[in-house]
Structure 1
Amino acid sequence: MIRTALVGALLSSALALPACAQQAPVSAPAAPAAAATATAPAPRELHVPGNPILADGDYYSTDPAPFVAKDALWILAGRDMAEPEVNDFIMPEWQLLTTKDPASGDWTHYPAVARPHEVFDWAEEGRAYAGQIVPGPDGRYYFYAPVLEKDSDAKDRFAIGVAVADSPTGPWRDAHPEGPIISQRVPVANDIQNIDPTVLIDEDGKVYLYWGTFGQVRAIELEPDMVHTKGREREITGLTGFFEAPWILKRKGTYYMLYAGNKAGPDSDCTPAVYHACIGYGSAPSPFGPWTYRGVVLKPVSSTTSHPGAVEFKGQWYLAYHTADAQGGGHFRRSVALDKLEWDDSVRPARIREVVPTHREGPAPVPTRNVAAAAVPGASNSPVPVQYWIAALNDGVTRANPLPPEMWGSWRPDNPPRQWISYAWDAPVTLNGARLWFWNDQPAGASIGVAPPAAWHLEYWDAAARGWAPVKAEGPYGTQPGRFQEVAFAPVTTRCLRAVLEASGKGSEHAGLAVQEFEALAPEAALPRPRAEDAPAPQPCG
């Protein structure tokens, strides 16, 4: 996961930076949402009709780490407990999901199997980030967990500890009570954030530990005892766009590393927006490399973060990941999903086929006047800066405290006085209204940051005149942010609609602009007809 506390409204100066540049390492834990209890809740038997596995909003689950034990597939997961509009990772504990047959939909959920401060005496409460359970050669289970050291003067106090248990569900005890096995102090000094551990037991019995975030991934060999480090710490390179969440596996003699990547841009095979991550992967002929980037396993999902875990179970490979698709879900209220992962063995090394996420059946669509979902959005500042995402304009989502990719935005150091955003349809549509939801971090009239527009108006493409023409608005154009500003107008039939936005400012200095949602309204409600993802783009207007 992306490790930061994005609390409150995001300032426009921060919005202009890549995610890794604005997200300082966490140095202290947030207070847990609820006090930890000594006794874990009883296991729950669930029948799951599809992804996400935990979907009702009672428990959110994140950072999945699958493994096979006792003839069952298990998934270790963290627990998100942030309130709906809190932009922070409130994660006090780990939990487990297990099934004998993923296709059956029958799962057992073990809540609260471990909490950092209850497993490691040297750890602080909270921040139960992405860990991994590995069945050891001695029949026991080893839990590699990133936690915060409570008595450390390190610049970044995240460290990796190891716990051991006789069962996947615990009870867990510290296998190295002297302290962490990886930190900014041990086994050698480093200056990275030491989280996201992943472990491989190779066919020759050697054990390798990988970890890292913020574009840095490291590796080291472990002793056969699964606990103590051996040899020197190595830096892993060659994984294009690596941001965090490494996951190591080996298949048919080749080593594979899956990871959350955020190489962003309009031509990226990973993600158009830097705050969103894809799951990329690379391969290597040996545990330490050299590593070669191979492509994308999973495109960005509904959560900004992404975290892979892959495992073979009863002859079938699976990819575990998380999304924001559960009831009440969000970027800090994520839920684990599981889909089949397939290989292309016609090439060497074998290629991982791109995974297409599956979803449980949702509620039936309801009629709406909004036809924006069938359009392709455009903007005067295309390609849109990578911290924003133009696709947010017609995704149907508005939030009180959004992240940058949940809006279209224009902020830059020298903002122009005017911008526009537009929709283009494949065929003409009849419209008689529109609604815009503005976002701001500066008041109206400001010449810095992101402010509401000083004014705006709507134009439609007049095919006969081959030009843009203003709609005949039936009321004022409101500019208040944080709610929809609706304008009704005399009906027009057109293939393109645009909103022209005048930036606020003084003299030659202007604020940026941001819009969370842009709805285009037809005279009558009808069932929505979203545009197919692989449909060719319509011809632009103008």
Structure 2
Amino acid sequence: MKIKHYFPLPFILTFMPVSAENYISTRFSADPSVHFFNNKFYVYATNDQDNSGTYWDSTDWRLFSSADLKTWQDDGSFLDISVFAWAGKTAKAWAPGAIERNGKFYFFAPVGGKQIGVAVSDKPFTGFKDPLGKALIETPRDPNAGVEPIDPMAFIDKDGQTYLYFGTRIPKVVKLKQNMQQLDGDIQDIIIQGFPEDDKKKKYGEAPYLHEHNGTYYFTFSTGWPGQIVYATGNNPLGPFTYRGVIFDYLPISTNHQAIIEKDGKSYFFYHDGSSQGGGDHKRVIGFTELHYAKDGSILPITIK
């Protein structure tokens, strides 16, 4: 499966073309959250296959796994929104996040657009339960949770502190306690410095993601609807971060959502697009390609050919 050119010519001339024919499945899925658990790669995803086709209204999450990034297994709709009884059966199951800590696996799920729940299991692919019986983060209950606390992403720093990133239009971050089920302090806004003042499109939209590379923290996100995937860097998981540039340009669909993982000396950039037959705004597929850095630590932009 090849991705067609949708980018304007000036963009193609200034960005490094990268082949990205690596799709994890032809099944419609989106919003990849990629992890390496128990010697296997796992991608937790929004289940586009079963939505209405007119909105992002699926009510469960899909899981895919691979031992080598070459052969992928569809592990099915491993978790239904009903695990969060407080959310209601018709709540929307949007872009999730996951993390492993102390032998347990934590799944962070935005439900209904106003809440983030957490489910926990002894296995990365099944058995998730809601330990709280209520939302971990909820608006307007929690000060500074924002209008839409969506797209949660968990990051454990080298000192053992866990950070949860989330939010649309204004990026948010909060520390989590060791049990991963309680906030450890106030929800903070993330400051991103240095957006080009003459480009009104260079604003935070959604899909916050943090990774560390060679001692630098890279904060990536989508600039909106449609949006570019851009990045900023800093020396602290809380920021502030300094804007550095575009990684992945606009897609011919209304959303853009990324995840980055490093394994065995290589970095991989996961994303979704609407390139599959019958695909579009609400029917997306997940692909990935290698991500590369320049000698100065900047990320080399990716285009698809």
Contact 1:52 1:323 in 2 (8 A): no
Deviations 1:406-434 (A, max 9, x none): xxxxxxxxxxxxxxxxxxxxxxxxxxxxx
Choose which of 80, 95, 119 in structure 2 pairs with 1:163: 119
Show the counterpart of 2:79. 114
Contact 1:94 1:112 in 2 (8 A): yes
Instruction: Determine the C-alpha separation between the residues in 2 that align with 1:303 and 1:101.
Output: 29
**Structure 2 CA distance for partners of 1:225 and 1:247, relative to 1, 3 Å:** same
Instruction: Determine the C-alpha separation between the residues in 2 that align with 1:163 and 1:70.
Output: 19
Show the counterpart of 2:158. 203
Contact 2:116 2:136 in 1 (8 A): yes
- Aligned pair 1:261/2:223, yes or no? yes
Instruction: Determine the C-alpha separation between the residues in 1 that align with 2:184 and 2:31.
Output: 27
Show the counterpart of 1:231. 185
Compute the displacement of 1:175 (Å).
2.6
Instruction: Determine the C-alpha separation between the residues in 2 that align with 1:248 and 1:303.
Output: 24
Compute the displacement of 1:191 (Å).
4.2
Choose which of 147, 151, 158 in structure 1 pairs with 2:111: 147
Show the counterpart of 2:9. none
Between the two proteins, the alignment pairs up a number of residues equal to 276
Instruction: Determine the C-alpha separation between the residues in 1 that align with 2:252 and 2:88.
Output: 31
Choose which of 50, 63, 82 in structure 1 pairs with 2:21: 50
Contact 1:140 1:164 in 2 (8 A): yes
Deviations 1:10-45 (A, max 9, x none): xxxxxxxxxxxxxxxxxxxxxxxxxxxxxxxxxxxx
Contact 2:25 2:72 in 1 (8 A): no
Contact 1:340 1:355 in 2 (8 A): no
Show the counterpart of 2:64. 97
Choose which of 285, 288, 292 in structure 1 pairs with 2:238: 288
Compute the displacement of 1:291 (Å).
1.1
Q: One-letter code of the match for 1:95?
A: R
Choose which of 242, 247, 250 in structure 1 pairs with 2:209: 247
Compute the displacement of 1:258 (Å).
0.9
Instruction: Determine the C-alpha separation between the residues in 2 that align with 1:96 and 1:313.
Output: 20
Kindly name which structure, 1 or 2, has the bigger radius of gyration based on alpha carbons: 1
Deviations 1:233-287 (A, max 9, x none): 111121642100101112222111110114xxxxxxxxxxxx4211011111111
Instruction: Determine the C-alpha separation between the residues in 2 that align with 1:166 and 1:191.
Output: 31
Instruction: Determine the C-alpha separation between the residues in 1 that align with 2:145 and 2:303.
Output: 38
Identity %: 29
Choose which of 130, 135, 138 in structure 2 pairs with 1:174: 130
Q: One-letter code of the match for 2:292?
A: E
TM-score by length of structure 2 reads: 0.86
Unaligned residue ranges in structure 2 (runs of 5+) = 1-19, 196-202
Show the counterpart of 1:371. none
**How is 1:424-463 mapped onto 2 (pairs within 5 angstroms)?**
none
- Aligned pair 1:354/2:304, yes or no? no
Instruction: Determine the C-alpha separation between the residues in 1 that align with 2:46 and 2:236.
Output: 30
Deviations 1:179-221 (A, max 9, x none): 11111144436442111111110000011111101x2111111
Instruction: Determine the C-alpha separation between the residues in 2 that align with 1:287 and 1:189.
Output: 18
Q: Which has the higher contact order (CA 8 A, sep 6+)?
A: 2
Instruction: Determine the C-alpha separation between the residues in 2 that align with 1:314 and 1:72.
Output: 13
- Aligned pair 1:343/2:288, yes or no? no
TM-score by length of structure 1 reads: 0.49
Unaligned residue ranges in structure 1 (runs of 5+) = 1-48, 149-156, 263-274, 359-542
3-state DSSP of counterpart to 1:106: coil
Q: One-letter code of the match for 1:73?
A: F
Show the counterpart of 1:124. 88
Kindly report the root-mean-square deviation, in angstroms, between the aligned alpha carbons of the 2 structures: 1.8
Compute the displacement of 1:72 (Å).
1.6
Q: One-letter code of the match for 1:159?
A: Q
3-state DSSP of counterpart to 2:275: coil
